[in-house]
Amino acid sequence: MSLDQHLAAIGLLCSHPLPVGHDGPSGGMPGIPATPGHLAGPGYRIVTLEAGPGAYGGGGAGREQEADDLDAQREGLARILDERWGPGQTWGTLTPAVRLARGEEIPEPWAALTHLVDQLRLWQCATDGRWIGLGLADRDGTDEVRLLAAVTDIDPP
pLDDT, tens digit (0-9, with 9 covering 90-100), for 69-104: 999 999 999 999 999 999 999 999 999 999 999 999
Mean pLDDT score across all residues of the chain: 85
pTM: 0.86
97's CB contacts (< 8 A; 6+ apart) are: 114, 115
Q: What is the CA radius of gyration of the chain?
A: 15
Report the helix count and the strand count for the chain, using DSSP H and E: 4, 6
State yes or no: pLDDT of 123 exceeds 70: yes
Q: Are 143 and 132 in contact (CB under 8 A)?
A: no
Q: Over the stretch 36-54, which tens digit does the pLDDT of each residue have?
A: 567 889 999 999 999 886 6
Burial of 48 (0-12, 13-18, 19+ CB in 10 A): buried
Which residue, 97, 89, 101, 87, is CA-closest to 118? 97
